[in-house]
Amino acid sequence: MKDIKSLTLNELKEELALLGEKPFRAGQIYKWLHVRFVSSFDEMSDLSKSLREKLAGEYYITDLKKLEVQISQDDGTRKYLFELSDGNTVESVLMRYHHGNSVCVSSQVGCRMGCTFCASTIGGCIRSLEPSEILDQIYKITSDISERISNVVVMGMGEPMDNFDNVVQFLTMISDENGLNISQRNLTVSTCGLVPEIRRFADLHLSVTLAISLHAGTDEKRQRLMPIARRYSIDELMDACKYFFKETGRRLTFEYALIAGVNDTPQDADEIAGLAKRVSAHVNLIPVNPVTETGYRPTSGKETNAFKKALEDRGVTATVRREMGRDIDGACGQLRKRRLDG
Ligand code: SAH
């Protein structure tokens, strides 16, 4: 059986041609899947019964199961735990902002990058998600709240550049005018810094924002926090960032989790400012979410603001990310983890 929800409209047209069907049928089916979010071929009422049966014999429709929703009393943030058809689970988060609804999606079950402060990586990577499984996180949340999603960040569980083709297919389909038609400018992909993949991504010339999880300004310090830093130096990473900016014209973002006593000194700020200026990046600061296993503590609010000011004094724009849903399982991967731990 084949995964029909992972096919672009053009791919669907080709598949239907092989079944001896007219191309316009693809448009009908695509709309049922990607606008009306049906979960069975029987619901596709403008198709003949024989075509519906033929499709059901060849394809399955990815349909994530909502296992759990936690709703923040503070700010309306919702954390979802979804079950995939093989029993694995992934998390997604809905954040409500003045400018619209933003969803953070997972791209893998677990992660193999091994960042020391991250809960998603405990237990390694079980498997990558199919395009349909990334799309369906957004479809299920859209149905749940009956509101449009305007922004998507690929910042949940997993390393998107370690699932390159499926993530690119997802970005193409979520921004397709025949589907949810979310502008590419409102899509962000976050990576821990896989240099060859960043260059490959730049070559696609998508209008997507790229966020780099930096978290340290020297190789030595970064290597202690992130194993990927042993494979690619900060210089190599910055060259890839420059290349991305040159090819796409899109300004990059540096993600920086502030960890008390680890990467939050004035000297750290100085180093980060230098790197941000080198590639004209914007810096997003977030006090680290404590994960029980790590022992890391977040930098205080006062020191976080001082770090931000130190960047601004050097001509770098920075924002402190509002911590959403503090009252529900904080860090990425913790909802799933709590459930696995039982
Ligand atoms: N693998 C990708 C995307 C997923 S993580 C990446 O590394 O970018 C999304 C962001 O959350 C990354 O910037 C990541 O470094 C950060 N993050 C992970 N654990 C965190 C924690 N405990 N506190 C704050 N940020 C964290």
pLDDT digits (tens, 9 = 90+) for 292-320: 777 899 999 999 999 999 999 999 999 99
Q: Which of 155, 191, 222, 283 to mutate to test the pocket of ligand 1 (most atoms within 8 A of CB)?
A: 155
Boundaries of CATH 1.10.150.530 in the chain? 2-60
Q: Is 289 in the pocket of ligand 1 (CB under 6 A)?
A: yes
Average pLDDT, the chain: 95
Q: What is the pLDDT of residue 335?
A: 62
Residues 132-142 pLDDT 10s: 999 999 999 99
Helices then strands, each counted (H, E), the chain: 11, 14
Q: Is 262 in the pocket of ligand 1 (CB under 6 A)?
A: no
- Identify the CATH assignment for 2-60 out of 1.10.150.530, 3.30.365.10, 1.10.10.10, 1.10.10.1150: 1.10.150.530
Q: What is the pLDDT of residue 150?
A: 98
Q: What is the pLDDT of residue 334?
A: 61
Q: Is 105 in the pocket of ligand 1 (CB under 6 A)?
A: no
Model confidence at 164, pLDDT cuts 50, 70, 90, reads very high
Q: What is the pLDDT of residue 337?
A: 66
Indicate the range of 79-93, 134-148, 266-280, 319-333 predicted with least confidence.
319-333
Closest C-alpha to 62, from 8, 125, 11, 135: 135
Q: What is the pLDDT of residue 293?
A: 72
Question: Does 91 qualify as catalytic in the annotation?
Answer: yes
* pLDDT higher than threshold 60 for residue 322: yes
3-class SS at 293?
coil
Q: Which fold has domain 70-341?
A: TIM Barrel (3.20.20)
Q: What is the pLDDT of residue 327?
A: 74
- Percentage of the chain beyond pLDDT 70 is 95
Evaluate whether 55 touches 49 at the Cβ level (below 8 Å): no
Rounded distance from Cα 303 to ligand 1 centre (Å): 20
Q: What is the average per-residue pLDDT within 171-192?
A: 98
Which one of the listed residues 15, 21, 91, 197 is annotated catalytic?
Answer: 91
Classify the phi-psi angles of 269: left when phi > 0, otherwise alpha if psi is within -120 to 50, otherwise beta: alpha
- Percentage of the chain beyond pLDDT 90 is 89
Question: Does 332 qualify as catalytic in the annotation?
Answer: yes
Q: What is the pLDDT of residue 341?
A: 63
Q: What is the average per-residue pLDDT within 167-189?
A: 98
Q: What is the average per-residue pLDDT within 17-45?
A: 97
Q: What is the average per-residue pLDDT within 101-111?
A: 97
* pLDDT higher than threshold 70 for residue 96: yes
The angle at the Cα of 169, spanning 179 to 12, to the nearest 5 degrees, equals 60
3-class SS at 338?
helix
Rounded distance from Cα 164 to ligand 1 centre (Å): 18
Q: Is 162 in the pocket of ligand 1 (CB under 6 A)?
A: no
Boundaries of CATH 3.20.20.70 in the chain? 70-341
Model confidence at 325, pLDDT cuts 50, 70, 90, reads confident
* pLDDT higher than threshold 60 for residue 330: no
Distance (Å) of CA 137 to CA 52, 133, 152, 260: 25, 7, 11, 34
Q: What is the pLDDT of residue 171?
A: 98
Q: What is the average per-residue pLDDT within 21-45?
A: 97
User: Pairing mode, if any, of strands 209-213 and 253-258?
Assistant: parallel
Q: What is the pLDDT of residue 223?
A: 98
Model confidence at 338, pLDDT cuts 50, 70, 90, reads low
Q: Which two tokens stand for residue 72?
A: 């923040």
Q: What is the pLDDT of residue 339?
A: 66
Residues 233-265 pLDDT 10s: 999 999 999 999 999 999 999 999 999 999 999
3-class SS at 286?
strand
Pick the atom of ligand 1 nearest to 290's CA.
22
CB burial of 206-230 (b: ≥16 within 10 Å; e: otherwise) equals: bebbbbbbbbbbebebbbebbbbbe
